[in-house]
């Protein structure tokens, strides 16, 4: 079966369909795996003719390019009527593959005056970028295709025009799509839709934006069942699960393996790698030297605080006047756009970036990626590495810079995992009830609905397949009037049941409330940072509370002096040099993937492999082995040692920081009950340290997996973590109104706090659907209960306990770490205040204060 001649692409069908590891792939030899029956030759021939006659083919050939076979395959599959996912590394021409069916279909049918293709991206910036990319051939060939972008930034006049005179292609985000779906004319607006392209599909599986998108897609399937879905995804380890998520029956998968293995090295240094810390201070001279050697580099960091620190240090080292910029989510959008534009134009030598640059903007000229700090996951690292070099058949080059010795091991493990192409298990979450509540409200805004039909539609979305009818009905009750057991005031209800049994918005004007609240991203309260009249960006309110006038902090690469708060903005001036306090931005920390943590444990346990490690890492491991024992993949190491008048119990679970945090809370309870007087805990991805006034006598009993039933249920009832999740859920679900950025509090005091609502609700209606919602969310992310239970179960009976005289080398990071998460507000709250009084009493040398 030869398809040569079609577009000059040969397809090899005689060999194995797909070899997983390190296949060398020339541009014209792409291996593709089809999960469905092979194509009919006739169809393919037909496609071939259509492709040949399409001006895009000539345009490509005129530039010395041609269609990749996977592009043709993807188009063919979608044109045949299948929902299709293309898995391919960066540089494989995914975007064009996604749009190819639309171009061909539109060439055949001509524009119908209706929306033909919807392109959905997780990032506004990406939607804009793709707009630019498809603009090039459309304009060059003068194709009769109207295409527009619609995001939250689109001016009202253009939105209005897009509504009355839809373009053929619309580039948008899940939030803007939700808005379009909530209009009363949504059914007619989408009636001509043929294709829905979802870019960066892998970015949607494990978060609430993905929940929102999956519900929107289910809605579109009702309004425009003919529209085929085309997912464009980075390579992941469970393509079939992704297919189940996106595709309806008969979905197809097209895969393009990594063409060439990336070249990943770990930065070698003569300097001392610290035992703990995350700032890579020791390595920045060498990082700077690498930047100087590269044409253009991206320095990825894990947190915004790291971004600020690294950027400032690089500037101090910058004797060659390299053009270095910083890019992170707290910076003003204008500044970020400016950096992106400069990158695209080749006007920069280096960008220090957080995950704000993770997703696929097309920076063709990056030739080096430097990852500072541990990668935390193989898939994420691969994507970051993929930023370097967008050409399919050239290797990407990356340097890993571990910031401490544990991270060195993690980097070695990640390197090894990438060499054998073992990716992290992609996480798929169960859809959030808060997002569903928002969606149900949106559906009602578009017109009356039948509850049975909507239930069927919602459960057709993979994220909601497990939803049962009683939960769905509870959500309708919630949207109607809060859904409380106590009778409410029907005159205020949002929804009402009509005579024909359908459910409708009680008053059309209520749709405004929905439209002001679309979306699943809830920012923690942010304050603008202002240098005189210029806004530099924003910082979290919590950070500012800890500042006094005269304090300095790093922001946007500058050292700023805090002057005070004025009109809800943080007023700053430029500080003159010196050390600065670093913003402690929350979030941005991903837990270590299970795959990688297993690899790290194996590496530590495998003595022979230590020979390949640098001397100082080897010494550190052997020192730890001498003083204590090395944890490995089969045992659970526990150390108990006295330190500063407390007993520290350190447990090396390697279960990731979220699971460790949960275990910390549970152990506090269990140890309190045992009379050990626990005082607090700290955790990393690798281990957990609990300190107490008395040492635990029986570690096996302490870590018995039954902790996941007894203490866990109790703890779940009143953990402050749920409160934190409730804050988001209250907004997403529409229980309370969203405060928009820059919106100044009008009242003298906060009107009400979602924490107080949570307390009242938990006390009076503990099974309320919104409390169920936060428990459901917590179990899969923040609490990571499944992973913790697995770890404890697996290592039960394999505990190695060492009682030491003093702190062990590996425990140092835990003891050094005094982070905000290490204490338990509600549980030590009063103790904390009592402690504070005691400390003052001691400091003031007074007997008491009354």
Q: Whole-angstrom distance between the N-terminal and C-terminal Cα of the chain?
A: 92
- List strand residue ranges (DSSP E) for 3-128, in order: 84-87, 117-120
Cα–Cα distance measured from residue 641 to residue 649, given in angstroms and rounded to the nearest whole number: 7
Nearer to another protein, 394 or 837 (CB): 837
Residues 683-742 that bind another protein (CB under 8 A): 734-737
Cα–Cα distance measured from residue 528 to residue 659, given in angstroms and rounded to the nearest whole number: 34
* Min dist. Cβ of residue 758 to another protein (A): 9
Cα–Cα distance measured from residue 720 to residue 734, given in angstroms and rounded to the nearest whole number: 21
Residues 170-209 that bind another protein (CB under 8 A): none
Q: Is 510 a binder of another protein (CB under 8 A)?
A: yes
CA distances, 847 to each of 453, 836, 850 (Å) = 71, 14, 10
For residues 282 and 272, the answer to whether their CB atoms sit within 8 Å is yes
* Min dist. Cβ of residue 547 to another protein (A): 7
Q: Which residues contact 27 (CB under 8 A, 6 or more apart)?
A: 68, 392, 393
For residues 115 and 183, the answer to whether their CB atoms sit within 8 Å is no
Structure tokens belonging to residue 380: 């994420």
Q: Is 516 a binder of another protein (CB under 8 A)?
A: no
Q: Is 488 a binder of another protein (CB under 8 A)?
A: yes
CB atoms within 10 A of CB 150: 22
- Of 48-56, 179-187, 801-809, 819-827: span binding another protein (CB under 8 A): 819-827
- With H, G, I as helix, E, B as strand and everything else as coil, classify residue 538: strand
- Of 25-33, 392-400, 526-534, 758-766: span binding another protein (CB under 8 A): 758-766
* Min dist. Cβ of residue 479 to another protein (A): 9
* Min dist. Cβ of residue 724 to another protein (A): 13
Binds another protein by CB under 8 A, chosen from 577, 844, 845, 847: 844
Q: Is 589 a binder of another protein (CB under 8 A)?
A: no
Cα–Cα distance measured from residue 433 to residue 466, given in angstroms and rounded to the nearest whole number: 12
Q: Is 545 a binder of another protein (CB under 8 A)?
A: yes
**Please, what is the Cα angle at 780 between 779 and 783, to 5 degrees?**
50
Q: Where are the alpha helices (DSSP H) in 576-686?
A: 594-605, 615-627, 657-673
Q: Is 521 a binder of another protein (CB under 8 A)?
A: no
Q: Kindly tell me the burial class for residue 581, based on how many C-beta atoms sit within 10 Å of its own C-beta (0-12, 13-18, 19 or more).
A: middle
DSSP per position, 650-661: EE---S-HHHHH
Binds another protein by CB under 8 A, chosen from 23, 484, 535, 635: 484
* Min dist. Cβ of residue 175 to another protein (A): 20
Q: 562 has which bridge partners? A: 572
Cα–Cα distance measured from residue 553 to residue 551, given in angstroms and rounded to the nearest whole number: 7
Nearer to another protein, 141 or 828 (CB): 828
Binds another protein by CB under 8 A, chosen from 820, 842, 845, 847: 820
Nearer to another protein, 273 or 437 (CB): 437
Helices (H) and strands (E) in the chain, counts: 31, 25
How many alpha carbons fall within 13 Å on the CB side of residue 73? 29
Q: Which of 819, 810, 822 is nearest to 275 (CA)?
A: 810
Q: Is 486 a binder of another protein (CB under 8 A)?
A: yes
Parallel, antiparallel or unpaired: strands 169-172 and 350-353: unpaired
Cα–Cα distance measured from residue 233 to residue 242, given in angstroms and rounded to the nearest whole number: 9
Nearer to another protein, 369 or 679 (CB): 679
Torsion of CA 593, 594, 595, 598, to 10 degrees: 120
Binds another protein by CB under 8 A, chosen from 257, 482, 591, 631: 482
Binds another protein by CB under 8 A, chosen from 319, 752, 842, 847: 752
Cα–Cα distance measured from residue 829 to residue 452, given in angstroms and rounded to the nearest whole number: 47
- Of 50-58, 95-103, 201-209, 833-841: span binding another protein (CB under 8 A): 833-841
Binds another protein by CB under 8 A, chosen from 49, 419, 694, 760: 760
Q: Is 460 a binder of another protein (CB under 8 A)?
A: no
Q: 482 has which bridge partners? A: none
The count of residues interacting with another protein (CB under 8 A) is 58
Binds another protein by CB under 8 A, chosen from 521, 694, 701, 756: 756
* Min dist. Cβ of residue 677 to another protein (A): 16
Nearer to another protein, 25 or 736 (CB): 736
Nearer to another protein, 360 or 482 (CB): 482
For residues 358 and 384, the answer to whether their CB atoms sit within 8 Å is yes
Q: Is 499 a binder of another protein (CB under 8 A)?
A: no
Cα–Cα distance measured from residue 232 to residue 654, given in angstroms and rounded to the nearest whole number: 33
Structure tokens belonging to residue 724: 């934190």
Binds another protein by CB under 8 A, chosen from 26, 345, 744, 849: 849
For residues 370 and 398, the answer to whether their CB atoms sit within 8 Å is yes
Residue with tokens 């000539």: 58
Nearer to another protein, 366 or 547 (CB): 547
Binds another protein by CB under 8 A, chosen from 57, 260, 481, 635: 481
Binds another protein by CB under 8 A, chosen from 13, 112, 188, 819: 819
Cα–Cα distance measured from residue 740 to residue 743, given in angstroms and rounded to the nearest whole number: 5
Nearer to another protein, 81 or 549 (CB): 549
* Min dist. Cβ of residue 829 to another protein (A): 6
Binds another protein by CB under 8 A, chosen from 15, 225, 489, 805: 489
Nearer to another protein, 663 or 679 (CB): 679
- Of 104-112, 418-426, 546-554, 591-599: span binding another protein (CB under 8 A): 546-554
* Min dist. Cβ of residue 524 to another protein (A): 13
Binds another protein by CB under 8 A, chosen from 260, 497, 542, 772: 542
Q: Kindly tell me the burial class for residue 172, based on how many C-beta atoms sit within 10 Å of its own C-beta (0-12, 13-18, 19 or more).
A: buried
- Of 238-246, 640-648, 662-670, 756-764: span binding another protein (CB under 8 A): 756-764
Nearer to another protein, 188 or 819 (CB): 819
- Of 333-341, 611-619, 669-677, 831-839: span binding another protein (CB under 8 A): 831-839
Cα–Cα distance measured from residue 548 to residue 463, given in angstroms and rounded to the nearest whole number: 46
Nearer to another protein, 542 or 635 (CB): 542
Q: 707-736 burial by CB neighbour count: b if 16+ within 10 A, else e? A: bbeebbeebbeebebbbbbbbbbbbbbbbe
Q: Which helix (H) or strand (E) is 813 found in, with range?
A: helix 812-816
* Min dist. Cβ of residue 551 to another protein (A): 9
Binds another protein by CB under 8 A, chosen from 753, 772, 780, 796: 753
- Of 68-76, 251-259, 801-809, 818-826: span binding another protein (CB under 8 A): 818-826
Q: Is 644 a binder of another protein (CB under 8 A)?
A: no
Q: Is 748 a binder of another protein (CB under 8 A)?
A: yes
Nearer to another protein, 55 or 525 (CB): 525
Cα–Cα distance measured from residue 57 to residue 100, given in angstroms and rounded to the nearest whole number: 10
Cα–Cα distance measured from residue 424 to residue 419, given in angstroms and rounded to the nearest whole number: 13
Binds another protein by CB under 8 A, chosen from 209, 768, 776, 787: 768
Sites of contact with another protein (CB under 8 A): 478, 481-484, 486, 488-489, 492, 494, 510, 513, 542, 545-549, 680, 734-737, 748-753, 756-757, 759-761, 763-765, 768, 818-820, 822-823, 825, 828-830, 832-837, 839-840, 844, 849-850
């Amino acid at each position: 079966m030869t398809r040569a001649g079609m577009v000059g692409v040969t397809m090899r069908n005689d060999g194995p369909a797909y070899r997983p590891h390190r296949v060398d792939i020339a541009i014209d030899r792409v291996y593709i795996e089809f999960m469905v029956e092979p194509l009919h030759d006739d169809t393919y021939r037909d496609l071939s003719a259509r492709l040949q006659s399409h001006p895009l083919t000539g345009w490509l050939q005129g530039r010395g390019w041609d269609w990749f076979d996977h592009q043709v395959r993807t188009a063919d599959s979608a044109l045949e009527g299948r929902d299709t996912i293309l898995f391919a590394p960066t540089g494989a021409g995914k975007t064009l593959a996604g749009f190819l069916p639309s171009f061909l279909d539109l060439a055949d049918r001509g524009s119908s005056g209706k929306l033909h293709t919807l392109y959905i991206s997780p990032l506004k910036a990406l939607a804009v970028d793709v707009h630019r990319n498809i603009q090039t051939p459309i304009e060059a060939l003068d194709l009769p295709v109207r295409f527009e972008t619609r995001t939250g930034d689109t001016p009202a006049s253009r939105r209005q025009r897009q509504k009355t005179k839809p373009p053929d292609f619309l580039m948008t985000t899940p939030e803007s799509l939700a808005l379009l779906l909530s209009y009363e004319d949504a059914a007619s607006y989408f009636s001509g839709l043929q294709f829905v392209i979802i870019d960066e599909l892998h970015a949607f599986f494990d978060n609430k934006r993905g929940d929102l998108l999956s519900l929107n897609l289910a809605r579109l399937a009702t309004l425009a069942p003919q529209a085929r879905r085309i997912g464009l995804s980075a390579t992941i380890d469970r393509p079939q699960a992704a297919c189940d998520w996106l595709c309806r029956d008969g979905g197809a998968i097209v895969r393009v393996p990594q063409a060439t293995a990336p070249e990943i090295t770990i930065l070698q240094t003569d300097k001392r790698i610290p035992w703990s810390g995350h700032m890579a201070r020791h390595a920045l001279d060498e990082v700077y030297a690498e930047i100087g050697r590269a044409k253009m580099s991206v320095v990825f960091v894990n947190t915004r605080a790291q971004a600020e620190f690294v950027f400032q240090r690089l500037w101090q080292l910058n004797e060659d006047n390299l053009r270095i910029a910083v890019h992170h989510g707290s910076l003003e959008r204008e500044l970020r756009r400016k950096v992106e534009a400069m990158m695209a134009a080749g006007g920069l030598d280096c960008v220090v970036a957080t995950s704000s640059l993770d997703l696929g903007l097309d920076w063709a000229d990056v030739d080096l990626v430097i990852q500072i700090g541990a990668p935390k996951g193989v898939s994420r690292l691969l994507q970051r590495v993929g930023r370097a070099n967008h050409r399919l058949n050239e290797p990407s080059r990356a340097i890993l810079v571990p910031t401490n010795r544990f991270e060195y091991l993690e980097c070695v493990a990640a390197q090894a995992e990438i060499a054998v192409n073992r990716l992290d298990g992609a996480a798929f979450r169960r859809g959030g009830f808060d997002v569903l509540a928002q969606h149900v409200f949106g559906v009602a805004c578009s017109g009356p609905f039948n509850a049975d039909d909507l239930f069927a539609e919602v459960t057709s979305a993979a994220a909601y397949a497990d939803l049962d009818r009683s939960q769905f009905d509870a959500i309708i009750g919630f949207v109607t009037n809060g859904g409380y057991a106590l009778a409410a005031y029907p005159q205020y209800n949002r929804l009402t049941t009509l005579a024909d049994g359908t459910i409708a918005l009680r008053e059309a004007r209520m749709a405004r409330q929905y439209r002001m609240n679309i979306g699943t991203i809830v920012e923690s309260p942010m304050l603008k940072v202002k240098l005189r009249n210029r806004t530099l960006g924003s910082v979290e309110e919590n950070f500012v509370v800890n500042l006094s006038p005269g304090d300095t902090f790093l922001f946007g690469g500058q050292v700023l002096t805090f002057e005070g708060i004025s009109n809800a903005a943080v007023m700053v001036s430029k500080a003159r040099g010196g050390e600065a306090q670093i913003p402690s931005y929350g979030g941005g920390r991903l837990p270590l993937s299970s795959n990688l943590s297993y690899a790290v444990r194996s590496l530590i346990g495998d003595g022979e492999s230590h020979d390949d490690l640098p001397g100082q890492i080897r010494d550190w491991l052997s020192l730890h082995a001498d003083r204590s024992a090395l944890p490995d993949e089969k045992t659970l190491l526990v150390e108990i040692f006295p330190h500063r008048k407390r007993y520290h119990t350190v447990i090396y679970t390697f279960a990731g920081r979220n699971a460790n945090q949960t275990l910390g809370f549970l152990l506090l309870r269990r140890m309190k009950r045992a009379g050990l007087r626990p005082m607090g805990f700290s955790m990393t991805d690798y281990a957990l340290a609990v300190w107490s006034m008395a040492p635990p006598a029986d570690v096996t009993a302490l870590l018995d997996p039954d902790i996941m039933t007894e203490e866990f249920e109790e703890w779940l009832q009143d953990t402050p973590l749920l409160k934190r999740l409730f804050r988001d859920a209250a907004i997403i679900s529409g229980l309370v109104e969203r405060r928009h950025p820059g919106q100044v509090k009008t009242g003298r005091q906060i009107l009400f706090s979602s924490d107080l609502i949570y307390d009242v609700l938990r006390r009076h209606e503990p099974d309320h659907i919104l409390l169920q919602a936060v428990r459901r969310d917590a179990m899969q992310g923040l609490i990571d209960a499944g992973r913790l239970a697995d770890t404890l179960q697996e290592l039960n009976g394999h505990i190695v306990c060492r009682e030491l005289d003093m702190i062990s080398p590996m425990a140092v990071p835990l003891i050094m770490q005094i982070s905000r998460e290490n204490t338990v507000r509600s549980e030590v709250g009063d103790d904390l205040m009592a402690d504070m009084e005691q400390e003052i009493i001691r400091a003031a040398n007074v007997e008491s204060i009354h």
